[in-house]
Amino acid sequence: MSDTPVSHDAQQAGTLVRAVYACISGAAGAPRDWERFRALHLPGARSLRTVIDADGKPRAECFSVEQYIANVTPFFAQNAFFEVETAQRVERFGQIAHVWSRYEARTEADGGGLLKRGANSIQLFHDGARWWIVSTIWDNEREGLRFDLF
């Protein structure tokens, strides 16, 4: 296997998850590493953002990798966004793994300007050579909802 960043990223479940955070983080208008992001996801991978409507009703916004990129690109063009992992728990059985990843999103790389906190639930598949993200679902902390699994 080559010594590319993706091949290094994909050798361990935890490393792969932290690589995703690196791909989407940056200053306002800074290019994101979408090629690396794509290479971390199994073809057909899905992402699901949980949303609470103004009336308090939850709903899901589901994206392919390309739809996710298209959805967040305008926001990243106008806003600094640095997402970092604050805790992680990996559970593995054979060729599958589940990663709970707590995160903070901030406006500054050095930790200033907290935007939100939340949790990602990430499902991974190991093909015998590397890990792939199959699906990601996330929710943000809000009044009455705090992450306390770890």
Q: Where along the chain do its domains lie?
A: 5-140
Please tell me the distance from the alpha carbon of residue 142 to that of residue 30, in angstroms, as a whole number: 28
Query: Mean pLDDT, 10 residues at a time, over the chain (150 residues)?
Result: 65 94 96 96 97 93 98 97 95 97 93 90 97 96 70
Q: DSSP secondary structure string, 27-94?
A: STTPPP-HHHHHHHEEEEEEEEEEEE-TTS-EEEEEEEHHHHHHHHHHHHHHS-BEEEEEEEEEEEET
Q: How high is the pLDDT of residue 3?
A: 44
Please tell me the distance from the alpha carbon of residue 9 to that of residue 1, in angstroms, as a whole number: 12
The pTM of the full predicted model, rounded to 2 decimals, is: 0.89
Q: How high is the pLDDT of residue 117?
A: 93
Please check whether the domain covering 5-140 is classified as CATH 3.10.450.50.
Answer: yes
